Amino acid sequence: MRRRVRDAACVFRIHLARLRAEAGPFLLAALVFPVAMFWFASRVSGVRAGDPKSLGFLAGAVVFSISLTAISWLGYLLLENRFTGRLKLFATLPLAPSSYVFGILIFAVAQAAAGTATLLVVARAVGVRARLDAAGASLLGATVTLTMLCLCGVSVVIAARARSFAEGTLYTDALGAGLVILAPVFYPADALPRAVGAAAAWLPTSCAARAAETTLAGGHAVAPQLLALALMSAAALALGFRLMRWRED
C-alpha cells in the first residue's frame, strides 16, 4: 500500500513538472476561458455583480473550468502518454496500473482546486461575493473533487478507447465544452426542449452546477447532487480502469 502511494506520488510529480513548460494550456482551460464565459454570460443577460444570478454564472464558470481541465486538458495528456509511447515507460516498470491512474487523479484534483480557488478570487475582485462558510467550503470542495473524478473517468475511457490521437482529441474537445453547453449552466433549464432537458439534468456537469450554485449561495442542501456525482464517478472510473490497457492482447 505504501509503495502504491509513493508510486502515485511520483506519477503526480512527473505530471506536475510538465506544468512548468505547459502552464499556458492549463491556464487557458482552468481560468481564461471560464472567466471569459462568466463575463460573456453576465453581459449578455445584463446581470450585475451583486445580483444573485451572478453566483449561478460563477458556479457555471467553476464547472466549465473543471470540465475543460479534466476532459480537454487532462484527456489530451492521457492521449499523449498513450500515443507517444510515454505510457510504455510506466507499463514496463513494476508499477500497478492503479498507481498510475491515482497519480493522474491527484494531479487532476490539484488542478481543479487551484482553478476553482483562483476563479473565486477573480470573482471576488469583480464584486461577486460567494457566501461560503466552513461547511459550505467543504461541500464545494467535495463537489469539485467528485466532478473532477467523474470527468477524469470519462477522460480515461476516451484515452483507452481512442483509435488514434486525432480521434481522441476530437472527443475530448467536443465533450470538454459540450458537457457544459448541454447542461443548463449559463441558461435556464426550461429553455431546453423537454426531452433534452430531462437528459441534461442527469449530466455530471448539471449536478455539479446545481451543487456549486447552492454552496456558493450559502446553502448546504447538496446531498442528492453529491450522491449522484459519487455514483457517476465510481461508474466512470471503474469503466476507465477496466478499459485501460496496461498490457496489450
> Taking CB under 8 A as the rule, does residue 170 contact other proteins?
no
> Taking CB under 8 A as the rule, does residue 95 contact other proteins?
yes
Residue 202, classed as helix, strand or coil, is: coil
For residues 13 and 101, give the distance between their C-alpha atoms in angstroms, rounded to a whole number. 13
Asked if 209 and 65 count as a contact pair (C-beta separation under 8 A), the reply is: no
> What's the grid cell of residue 218?
450559502
Q: Which is nearer to other proteins, 25 or 141 (CB)?
A: 25
Q: Contact region for other proteins (CB under 8 A) — 3-11, 26-34, 151-159, 212-220?
A: 3-11
Q: Which is nearer to other proteins, 114 or 192 (CB)?
A: 114
Which residue in the block uniquely carries the three cell numbers 437528459?
199
> Taking CB under 8 A as the rule, does residue 85 contact other proteins?
yes
How many residues at the interface with other proteins, by CB under 8 A? 29
Among 88, 124, 131, 242, binds other proteins (CB under 8 A): 88
Residues 9-48 close enough to bind other proteins by CB under 8 A? 10-11, 13-14, 17-18, 20-22
Q: Smallest distance, Å, CB 211 to other proteins?
A: 35
Q: Which of 74, 93, 56, 200 is nearest to 148 (CA)?
A: 74
Q: Which is nearer to other proteins, 165 or 187 (CB)?
A: 165
> What's the grid cell of residue 41?
454570460
Q: Contact region for other proteins (CB under 8 A) — 41-49, 80-88, 156-164, 171-179?
A: 80-88
For residues 160 and 146, give the distance between their C-alpha atoms in angstroms, rounded to a whole number. 21
> Taking CB under 8 A as the rule, does residue 242 contact other proteins?
no
Q: Which is nearer to other proteins, 89 or 137 (CB)?
A: 89
Q: Which is nearer to other proteins, 83 or 187 (CB)?
A: 83
> Taking CB under 8 A as the rule, does residue 110 contact other proteins?
no
> What's the grid cell of residue 140?
464545494
Residue 96, classed as helix, strand or coil, is: coil
Q: Contact region for other proteins (CB under 8 A) — 82-90, 126-134, 136-144, 178-186?
A: 82-90
Asked if 7 and 103 count as a contact pair (C-beta separation under 8 A), the reply is: yes
For residues 226 and 233, give the distance between their C-alpha atoms in angstroms, rounded to a whole number. 10
Length of the chain equals: 249
Q: Smallest distance, Å, CB 94 to other proteins?
A: 4
Residue type at position 31: L
